[in-house]
Amino acid sequence: MKESDYFIFFLGSLAMTSLALSVVFFFVLMQRRQMRHRLHVQELKTEHHLDLLRSSIAAQEAERKRFAEDLHDDIGVVLSTAKLCLARGIGEQRSDLAQEALALVNDAMKGIRNISHDLLPPGLAQFGLWSTLSDLCGVIQAAGQLRIKLEIPEETDEPDLKEELSLGLYRVIKELLNNTIRHSGANAVVIRFKTDGNTIELVYSDNGKGIEEQSSVLPGLGLRNLESRISVLDGTIQFGKAEGGGLKVEVTLPLNNR
Partner 1 sequence: MMVELADSLILASPYALLPALLCGIVRFGRAPVHIRVVMLLVFISSVFTFISALLWYRRVNNLPLLHVYTVLEFSLLSVFYARWVRPHASAWLLLAVIPLFVVLSIGNSLFVQNIGTHNSYTRGLEAFLAILYALWMYYRSFRDQADASDRPALLVSTAYFIYFSACFFLFVLSNRISMSPDLRHIFWGVHAVFVFVLYGILTVAFYKVR
Listed residue (228, 116, 243, 240) closest to 172, CA to CA: 228
CB of 15 to partner 1, least distance (A): 9
> With binding defined as CB under 8 A, does residue 1 bind partner 1?
yes
How many residues touch partner 1 under the rule CB under 8 A: the total is 19
Whose Cβ is closer to partner 1: residue 1's or residue 142's? Answer: 1
Sign for the CA dihedral angle at 150, 153, 154, 157 comes to: negative
Whose Cβ is closer to partner 1: residue 11's or residue 125's? Answer: 11
> With binding defined as CB under 8 A, does residue 42 bind partner 1?
no
Q: Which of residues 116-145 bind partner 1 (CB under 8 A)?
A: none
The answer to whether 121 and 132 are in contact (CB under 8 A) is yes
Listed residue (229, 223, 225, 194) closest to 210, CA to CA: 223
4, 5, 143, 216: which one binds partner 1 (CB under 8 A): 5
Sign for the CA dihedral angle at 98, 100, 106, 111 comes to: negative
> With binding defined as CB under 8 A, does residue 53 bind partner 1?
no
Work out the end-to-end distance of the chain between its first and last CA atoms, rounded to an integer number of angstroms: 75
Whose Cβ is closer to partner 1: residue 15's or residue 103's? Answer: 15
Whose Cβ is closer to partner 1: residue 19's or residue 53's? Answer: 19
Q: Which residues contact 83 (CB under 8 A, 6 or more apart)?
A: 101
Q: Which residues contact 182 (CB under 8 A, 6 or more apart)?
A: 221
> With binding defined as CB under 8 A, does residue 25 bind partner 1?
no
The answer to whether 205 and 247 are in contact (CB under 8 A) is yes
Residue type, position 146, single letter: L
CB of 45 to partner 1, least distance (A): 16
4, 7, 13, 122: which one binds partner 1 (CB under 8 A): 13
> With binding defined as CB under 8 A, does residue 6 bind partner 1?
yes
CB atoms within 10 A of CB 48: 12
Listed residue (75, 170, 79) closest to 119, CA to CA: 170
Q: Which of residues 57-76 bind partner 1 (CB under 8 A)?
A: none
> With binding defined as CB under 8 A, does residue 31 bind partner 1?
yes
Give the bridge partners for 205, in sequence order.
Answer: 190, 248
> With binding defined as CB under 8 A, does residue 41 bind partner 1?
no
**What is the rounded CA–CA span in Å between residue 36 and residue 38?**
5
Sequence length of the chain is: 258
> With binding defined as CB under 8 A, does residue 34 bind partner 1?
yes
> With binding defined as CB under 8 A, does residue 7 bind partner 1?
no
Q: Which stretch binds partner 1 (CB under 8 A): 18-26, 74-82, 211-219, 248-256?
A: 18-26
CB of 4 to partner 1, least distance (A): 11
> With binding defined as CB under 8 A, does residue 30 bind partner 1?
yes
Residues that bind partner 1 (CB under 8 A): 1, 5-6, 8-9, 12-13, 16-17, 19-21, 23-24, 27, 30-31, 34, 38
